[in-house]
Amino acid sequence: MIGILFATEMEAKPFLDRGEAAGTVVLVSGMGMEAARIAAEKLIRENGCTTIINAGVCGALNDSLERGSVHRVLSVGVDGTTGSVVLGKKGLRLVTVEKPVFQPDRKKELSKQADLVDMEGYAVARVCKEHNISCIMVKGVTDFGDGNGKADIQKHIDSVSKAVADAIALECGGNRRATPLLARLHSFTKIEHTIFSLPLLFAGAWLGAGGMPSIKALLLISLVGLGARTFGMAVNRILDKNIDAKNPRTKNRELPSGKLSMVQGYGVAIVGLVIYFVGCVLLGSTVLKLSLVPLVPLALYSLLKRFTPLCHYGIGVCLAAAPLGAFVAVTNSLAFTPEVVLLAIFTFCWISGFDIIYALMDIDFDHANGVRSIPAALGSTGAQLVAAITHLVSFATLVLLWMSVGGALSFVALLVSAGAFGAAYLPAIPVHVRFFPISAIAGIAGALVVLLGG
């Protein structure tokens, strides 16, 4: 039996998501040496493990190492002592500490005895040595133990944990089943992110109908939205495959990692396109005649990052088409009302601003690899200023929309949206959380200003 020990749920999740194991047991210990020691003892005494793999993220003390790289550990020691536990013949040296290392002076001192630093490894190695069982350590680099360490861990822990999960699967000798195709397709399409557009589609339809549209219309509009979203995501992933392969945060996505083939990627895009056109046909001739218009930005917006830092506004165009298209679907007319135009402007600025914030996670990569983005062009502070201005326009538009539709519940939705916009600029909130779910809250609340109005 192989015991696989992680410190946190976040580090364990990518491995657990791969599917059931044969001959393995996974345990999350909690952070720190004492928690790791207790967990290792449990794996041996209660689960009968004869090998323990201690896996997770770590800091690099050697600046020549790459963020996102995954390493086997040769030996592990503990801060303040000279002894170490030897684990194999190849790998890097690890030192275990009681507190995280984010100070340059402390990093410099520790670098004299090790290449990597964590908070659990030594305790696991000692337990394995005492019980005379095999110990394997697989560590992925999230940070460099400096002043940026905390932010780097938040930014890279997901992608590095996925890389560690891949490495552990190899260590387990292929005992872990491959991720089911449906799970890989779900990860590829991110269907749950349709939540960004559905409420805005409904709000656009509501404005077009002057109230509650028919259930049939809403279902068909949802079908069109799902198809468009699937097509756009697939094309985006296909066009960005080579860029994603170079980026530590995205290299484990389905296409660059080989979890899905390019044929499967194109297949997903075609399925999305078919769903989209079926919905358009059923919504009537006007919608069908205009159906190619939204497909152009959906197919091309991911190319903008090759040419302009204003690429973030490309996705704004894509989503702004949602309420306008839903309006046309229920009115069979291009005679847009001021309210639906305001809703489209809100949508455009809302998602564009959040896409700028999302790009903060790749600021170093984009700058180094010539990927155009506002964060790469202006830096973190400048980018957040541009995003804030964009969001101010979005919220001002939403206020005008509320003044038109009115209603007490609508005002509550307006306040919720304001709170979400504000939360997007709190440094304590990780960037990926600001993008999802905080951006979704701002957008859904914006749609509810319409849906709860009157």
Is the fold of 2-171 the same as that of 181-451?
A: no
181-451 CATH: 1.10.357.140
Report the C-alpha gap between 280 and 275 in whole angstroms. 9
- Pair 28, 6: CB distance under 8 Å: yes
* Position 19 confidence tier, pLDDT thresholds 50, 70, 90: low
pLDDT winner (highest mean) among 5-14, 246-255, 318-327, 358-367: 318-327
Q: Is the dihedral of CA 350, 355, 358, 364 positive or negative?
A: negative
Report the C-alpha gap between 111 and 68 in whole angstroms. 19
pLDDT value at 174 more than 60 = no
Q: Write out the DSSP string of 85-128.
A: EE--SSSEEEEE-SS----HHHHHHHTTT-SEEESSHHHHHHHH
* Position 209 confidence tier, pLDDT thresholds 50, 70, 90: very high
- Residues contacting residue 390 through CB under 8 Å, at least 6 positions apart: 349, 352, 353, 356
Amino acid type, 130: E
pLDDT of residue 175: 43
H-helix segments, 247-284: 254-257, 262-283
Q: Is the dihedral of CA 395, 396, 399, 405 positive or negative?
A: negative
Report the C-alpha gap between 45 and 275 in whole angstroms. 54
| Summary mean pLDDT of the chain | 92
46-86, pLDDT tens digit by residue?
A: 888 889 999 999 999 988 888 888 999 999 999 877 778 98
Q: For the whole model, what pTM was predicted?
A: 0.71
Domain residue ranges in the chain: 2-171, 181-451
Task: Report helix angle 121-130 to 33-45, nearest 10.
Answer: 30
Q: What average pLDDT does this structure show over 145-158?
A: 88
What CATH architecture is 2-171?
Answer: 3-Layer(aba) Sandwich (3.40)
Maximum pairwise Cα distance, the chain = 78
